[in-house]
Structures are given as structure tokens and as C-alpha cells.
Structure 1
Amino acid sequence: MALSPHDNNRSELLRQLPLKPGWFIGLGIALIILGLIALAYVVGATVASVVYVGILMSIGGVLHLAHAWSAKGWRGFLFWSLSGILYLVAGLIAISNPLVGATVLTLVFGAFLIASGAFRLWIWFQNRAQAGSGWIAFSGLITLAAGLIIAAGWPGNSVWILGLILGIDLLTQGWASLLIGMAIKRTQS
């Protein structure tokens, strides 16, 4: 199969970059292993991800409060304080009771997917005469369907859905990194 001039330019650019394919390949293998572990233990992966989000929210809440109290004379003091308290309380709830946190996050995630899918369908409808706009509709339908499936199974699916999504995401990132590393290795040889 003959390469186009565009492919030759891309290969030459890849050869010039100081990319180390071993790092991509190693990262890909590690992410694939982590994804398989997450898929094998979806409830544990859900709990771990909710605790992680809870820790980040708690840190964010403390930072909001520190900011609010450092700028007491500012008109936004009450807003920043309230925002910090809400972040901190939500984070502490997620840490202390990850299943409640998973239930809330799953509901929010499902609602986000429904809204995002509906928005993409609206964009498609506004641009349906455009070439290739069917892909926007396809993407919107898939996202909307995923959101509706999550919402229909809520709250029962809350203990495993976030772990499943995390596992799938780790697997896809792992495969992408592995394949990129192998492609770089081929172009550098």
C-alpha cells in the first residue's frame, strides 16, 4: 500500500519528536491492567472513585472557605463561604458514606448524559443539512440512551455503574496508549 505525501509528512514529524514508545506502551499495559481490575471489582472501583471525588471536594471546600475568610471585606464573602461549606459537606458525606455519594453521583451523571444527548440532538436538528451531521445525531442518541439507561436503573445501579464506567475508560485509554506506543515504535524504526 502506497503512502500519500500527507502520510510521509506525518511519519517524518513523528520521527523528529522525542517520543519514547516504551512509556506509551508501559502506560497502556498499566491502564489495561487497572481497567481489568476495576471491571472485576466494580463495586470497589465505585467506592474508590467516590471516596477520591469526596477527598477532592473536601479540599476544594476548605480552599473556598480559606479564600472567603481571607477576603472578608469583599461582597462575595457570603457566597464563597456558602460554596465552601457545601463543597466540604458534600465531600465529607461522600467520604463517610460512599454508597450515598455513588447514588448522588450516578443520578447527576445520568442527568448530565441525558442533557448532553438532548443538546447534541438539538445541534444536529439545527444543522441537519450540513454534510456529516448524521454523526452528531448518532452521538446524541447514544449519549441520550446511555443517560436514560442509567436513570432507569437508578438507584439500584449506583453501586456498580461508576466502577463499570471507570473500568471501561481505563481500558480504552490503555489500549489507545498501547497502540500509540506501537505506532511510534514502528515509525522510529
Structure 2
Amino acid sequence: MKTVGNDLVRHQLHENRKWYLGLGILLTLFGIVLLVSLPLATLSAILIFGALMMLGGIIHIIAGLKIFSGTFRILWLLFGILYFVAGYYAFKTPAQTAVVLTDLLAIFLIIAGAVRIFNAVLFKAVQGWGWILFSGLLTLIAGIVILKTPGAPFWVLGLFLAMDVLFQGINYLSLASYIKNDVPKSSADI
């Protein structure tokens, strides 16, 4: 019974291989374009962030008016207004928003790196603790470098977006390649 389900999934993957291949090519190209133009990628990330925050604000306000009552209504309306204002601020002042978000990211990386280093010290008796320490040091250094680099707000967020899009494209290309090399059973056997 389980193999019939697996065969059906394999058959569906083969039917849609060209879509995975096309999406992989498109995302990989977009990732490369974003890597070449990191300020544009950062601006895109900020504008998407702003638009999603404003949309989230509208949804919170609608939910506050339609679904909730009493204190919950007030909280949902307040959150909706705050989301909308934050999104509007991001949309209207993308450079300032990039600075704020990059600084927050750097601070998060510094804290995460310090926590990993602390965990490495705690797990020093466990084999592989050095990798935890190495990871913590890299994360801590990345946070400090981002925080101390004056131009970082204009490329860091774009780099994260570009790398994500690029690796998603490579992932789809790998899936399409795997599907091509995996010979399915005929649909009559399913």
C-alpha cells in the first residue's frame, strides 16, 4: 500500500519536472541578478517587508472590528495600527528601515553567537563541541562586522535575500535533475 503512494508521488513529480526545472532556472537567474545588485535587492526586501507589514496591519484591524470585542478588540486594533504604521514607515523611508533592520540583525547575530559559544563551553566534554564553538565564533564575528561596517545596511539584507532566492533556485534544479534520473513506473502500474 505504501509503495503505491510512493509510486503515485514519483509519477506526479515526473509529470511536473518541467515546472521545477523552469522555476529553478528562473529563481537562480533572479538570485544572480540580486547578488550583482545588492542595493536593489535590499530595497526590494524593505519594500516587500513594508507591504507585508501594512497588509498585516489591515488584517489585524479587520479582525479587531469583526471578530473580537472588549479588551481583545482594543489590542487587535492597536496591533493593527502599529503594524500598519511600521509598514508605512518602511515603505516611505527604506534607507532608514534598512539601517534599523540591519542593526537588529547584527545584534541578533551577536547574541546568538554568544549563546553558541556559551553552549560550547557547557558541552566541552561532548565530542563535536568544537563545531559549536566554531559556529558561535563565526556568528558572533558576522554580527560584529555587520554592526561596524558603515555601508552594511545597503547590502546585508539584499545579500540574505539574494542567497535565499539563489539557493531555492539551485534546490529546484537539483530536484528536477533527481527526477530526470529517477525512472518512474508507467502509469498503468500505479
Matches of 2:183 and 2:139, distance apart in 1: 38
| TM-score of the pair, normalised by structure 1 | 0.80
- How many residues align? The count is 176
Contact 1:15 1:188 in 2 (8 A): no
3-state DSSP of counterpart to 1:22:
helix
Structure 1, gaps ≥5 residues long: 1-12
Q: CA deviation at 1:32?
A: 1.2
Kindly provide the amino acid, as one letter, of the partner of residue 138 in structure 1.
F
Change (3 A) 1:188 1:143: farther
**Counterpart position of 1:29:** 25
Unpaired segments ≥5 residues, structure 2:
1-5, 185-190
Tell me how far apart the structure 1 counterparts of residues 60 and 180 of structure 2 sit (CA, whole Å). Answer: 46
RMSD over aligned CA atoms reads: 2.4
Aligned to 1:100: 96
| TM-score normalised according to structure 2 size | 0.79
1:174 maps to which residue?
169
Q: Percent identity?
A: 37
Q: Matches of 1:58 and 1:129 in 2, distance apart?
A: 49
Deviation larger for 48-57 or 27-36: 27-36
Matched, 1:41 2:68: no
- Determine the structure 2 residue equivalent to 1:126: 122
Instruction: Please say if 1:161 is aligned against 2:156.
Output: yes
Counterparts of 2:20 and 2:29, CA distance in 1: 14
The letter for the 1-side match of 2:90 is A
In structure 2, the residue matched to 1:8 is: none
**Which aligned segments of 4 or more residues in structure 1 are displaced greater than 4 angstroms?**
13-16
Match of 2:182 in 1: 187
Shift of 1:15: 9.8
For 2:28 and 2:7, the matched residues in 1 are separated by 24
| Cα distance in 2, alignment partners of residues 184 and 141 from structure 1 | 39
